[in-house]
A and B are shown apart, each in its own frame.
Chain A
Amino acid sequence: MRIRVAAVGDVHLGEDLRGRYRRRLDGIEERADVLLIAGDLTRHGTPEEGRVVADEFRDLPIPVVTVLGNHDYQSDAEDEIVALLRDAGIRVLQDDSTVIQCGDLRLGVVGGKGFGGGFAGKCASEFGEPQMKAFVRHTREISELWHKALKGLNTEHRVVLSHYSPVKDTLAGEPLEIYPFLGSYLLAEAVDAEGADLFIHGHAHSGVEKGLTPGGVRVRNVALPVLRRAYAVYSLSGEETES
C-alpha cells in the first residue's frame, strides 16, 4: 500500500505560457494520487496570471494542493489569486492542513509559503530594529502554525508543502550570501518536532533536488528549473508516521 505524490514548483505561469503546462499533465492520474505545487505559480502575482494558473490545473483527475510563493505576492493580489484557485477546485494551504483520501490511506498535507531568515548558527534573530524583528517573527509564527497543524493531523502519512526551504542541503548551487532569503531552519524544526514523511519546497532555482532535515525528514526541492521535468513523483509507503 502506498501513496504516490507528484510535485512541482516555480512554474511561473503567465499568458505567454498558457496551455503549455496543461499538456504536460496528461496521464498524471496513471502516475500519481495527488499533485502538490510548491508556490511561485505566477511571475507578477496578478489576477490575470492567477486565472492562467487556475485554468492550467483545474479539473485534473487527481486532487491538487498548492501554496503561494513570493512572486504570487508581488501585485498585492494574493487573496484574489487564492479565491481564483479555490473556485477552480484547487486546495490552497495558508499555514493550515488538508486531508486527502488515497484508497485506504489518508494523506495529511500541512503548509504555506514559509519564509526566510537563514539557518541555525547563521541566521537573523528577533533583535534590534522593528523591521528585523518583524522579518524573523513572520517565519517564527509560520513555523508555530505548522507545528500546531502537524500535531492536529491523525493520518497515515504526512507531507509538508512550502515555497521556502527548511534546510541548506537543497540550496547547494545558490550563492551562500542569499541563503537567509531562501529559507529558515525554523521550518525544519517545526516539522522535526512532529515528524513527517516528506518536505516539499521550491524557490531555489539553482539548488538541488534532495536533502534531509536534522531530524531525518526527506526534503525535496521541486523548483521546475531544478527538476527539469514536468513533475517529480515520490512514493510513500512503510510504517505509519504518527508520533
Chain B
Amino acid sequence: MRHGLILWRENELSLADVKARQVRLQQAIAAAGLDGVLIYTNHVRSAGVTWVSGFTPYWSDGLVLVLREGLPIFLTALSKRVGEWVKSVAPTFEVAHSPFPGKLAGERLAQVGAKRLGVVELDRMPGGVVDEILSVLPVELSDATELFTAVRGQADRAELDLVRHTDNIAREAFKAGDINGKYAGDFTGPVERAARLAGAEECYVAVAPDLSKDRRFIRTGRQELGRTFAVRLSIAYNGVWVRRIETFSAVSEIAARLSSVSAELDRASPALAADGSISAFYLPNGAKLIDWHLEAPHGTRPLKIVADAQTPLAAPVPYGILTTAVILDGETIVASRPVGLGDMSAREAAE
C-alpha cells in the first residue's frame, strides 16, 4: 500500500496542469472516434490515472472514465468516507461510489449514448469489471493503450520538475546510509526513513549485497554487505516515480572512486535524451559497459523497461530512468539516474 504523505499540492501540480492533460486525452478520444476511455488503477497499476488526475489510491482499486467532454469520473468501491479523502487529495474529477464500479461505468456510458469505449490495457482489465460494464451496456470495447501512450509520451513541465524533486529526495536519502554497516538493513533502514521524512509517498528499497558475487537486487535487511554493494531506491512523490541506484564500498579507495563516478553521472544524466540510446552516456575512463536498460512510465505502470541493448524504444516517453552496469578497475558499478530532463523549452520547440 502507499503509506507516505499524499497531498494535493497546487504549487507542484496545478489544476491547470491536470486539466491540460485531460483536454489532450479528450482530443485524442474524439480523433479516434471513441466515446470515452477507461483507465484502471490500484496502487501498483497507478500511473495512468495518476497522470490524468493527480490521484493515486493508497489501497483498493478504481476506474477513471474520461468521456469526450466534461470532468473525468473516478468510479470506486471505496466508501463515501474514503471518498472525502479522495476529493481532498485530487480535486480533478468527480467521485462516484458503487460496490460495482464497472456497472456504474456502464450506466454513465449509457447516459451519453456511448457505443465505443477504449480501455487502456484492455487485456489486463480485471475481468469482473468488464463483465459489470457489459451487463449494463453492450458497448464495443477496444484497446486504447497505444492512444494513451501517444498522449502520455509528451512531457510537461510540472512532471519533469517533480522528477527532479523526487530524484533530489533519493539523492539526499542515500546520505543517511551507513556504508560501514554489517547488514543490508543497517544501510537501507536509515535511507528509507530519510526518504519518508522528506515526504516520499512511497519507497521501495532493494539491495545487491555483494556485487563481487551477484548484481541482482533483492529485498532483504538481513544479508551481510560485501566489499561493494548497490542499493536501489524507488521513490514516489506526488505521483511521480524515480529510481536511483548507487554503488557503495566501505573501502575508502574504492568509495572515493564510486563517489566521483556518482557525481559525474549526476552532472551528465539529466540532459541525456530518454530516447533509448546510450551513445551520449557518461562512461568513466577505462570502464566497460556490461548492461543497460531504460525505464519509463507506460500505461498503468509507473516504471517499466521500455528499451535495452536488444530492444529499441517503441514510442516516445515523457522521461526515463537509465540503469547501467559497468566494470571499472575490476569492480562492478551499478547506477540509475533520471534522463530526459533537459531544458523544457527546447523540448517544447522540438515537439
- Do A and B assemble together? no
Give A residues with C-beta under 8 Å from B.
none
